[in-house]
Copies of this chain bind each other. A is one copy, B any other.
Amino acid sequence: MIKIRRRLTEDEKFMRAAIKEAEKAGAIGEVPIGCVIVKDGKIIARGYNKRKKEGNTLSHAEIKAIDKACKKTGDWRLEGCSMYVTLEPCPMCAGALVQARIDRVYIGCMNPKAGCAGSVLDMFSVEGFNHQVECVKGILGDECSEMLKNFFKDLRKRLKEEKKASEI
């Protein structure tokens, strides 16, 4: 039998790389969120969530990747760069994308509780800022969403088992 595999679009290819980063976070017990920064068709920085492990507000995937991209390019302006991120950015990360003057952000799934690409605020198209970030939503959205749902399902199950064990 010949398996027919649909060729990934470039956006899906980069979002898959972001998902791979998110999986690294999940593997160490962190909420699985990951991202990559792309310039001239190449990944120049990757990041995944390490907030709990590092005990640091700034250890979000996007901030990690922006830090690496700046160190690589030696420039605080990431003009000509795009970010692919599995979850809609929080206020800090959305603000960092604006400050870094990133051209475009590709988002996997939305975050109704804290997302700043339209869910709670839309920080990417504020005319008062000196930069706006183009925003594309729903790249491999179901996959990104499932990954998070499974993580929280497993977490709840584990916490329930631990609670049960502590009561014996």
Instruction: State A123–B91 Cα separation when bound (angstroms).
Output: 8
* A120→B126 contact, CB < 8 A: yes
A5 within 8 A of B: no
Copies of this protein chain in the complex: 2
A58 within 8 A of B: yes
* B113→A130 contact, CB < 8 A: yes
**Chain B residues with CB under 8 A of A130:** 113-114
Given A70-B56, A100-B57: A95 and B76 interface contact (C-beta under 8 Å):
no
21 contacts between A and B (CB under 8 A): A51-B76, A54-B76, A55-B73, A56-B70, A56-B71, A57-B76, A57-B77, A57-B96, A57-B100, A58-B66, A58-B67, A58-B96, A60-B99, A90-B95, A90-B99, A91-B129, A92-B98, A93-B95, A114-B130, A120-B128, A121-B121
